[in-house]
């Protein structure tokens, strides 16, 4: 009888560990989605419902336009995003004045 009790306890511990790993993965998926500019809560729920698919989706997602251009300024000539300390636009080749906020 004592051996059966140990097996039941071991199964319970493994199930709790698996559940904790499952929840951690869903939260991590939400965090990665938020870093790319998507809804953290939405992707956390997505990760809880179908974790394997959500993991693949969040790994192949491209950052949103807002995240991709964060920290950049628009070229006054072609309106493309460039670094704030740029002196020449990489898109149109025109000379630009660096932003006063540039380091």
Chain centroid offset of residue 75 CA: 28
One digit per residue, the tens of pLDDT, for the chain of length 103 reads 556 788 899 999 999 999 999 999 999 999 999 999 899 999 999 999 999 999 999 999 988 877 666 788 889 899 888 888 888 998 899 989 887 765 5
For residue 103, is it within any domain?
no
- 0.85 surpassed by pTM: no
Q: Are residues 14 and 39 in the same domain?
A: yes
What residues make up the domain containing 72? Answer: 64-98
13 with 51, same domain? yes
87 within 8 A of 96, measured Cβ to Cβ: yes
Question: What is the pLDDT, as a whole number, of residue 57?
Answer: 95
- Asked if residue 73 and residue 85 are part of one domain, the reply reads yes
pLDDT at 68: 66
> Residue length, the chain?
103
């Amino acid at each position: 009888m004592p051996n059966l009790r140990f097996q039941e306890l071991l199964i319970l511990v493994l199930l709790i560990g698996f559940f904790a790993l499952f929840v951690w993965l869903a939260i991590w998926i939400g965090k990665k989605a938020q870093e790319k500019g998507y809804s953290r809560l939405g992707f956390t729920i997505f990760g809880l419902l179908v974790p394997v698919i959500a993991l693949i989706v969040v790994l192949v997602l491209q950052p949103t336009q807002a995240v991709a251009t964060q920290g950049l300024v628009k070229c006054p000539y072609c309106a493309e995003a460039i670094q704030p300390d740029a002196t020449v636009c990489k898109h149109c080749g025109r000379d630009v004045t660096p932003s006063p906020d540039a380091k």
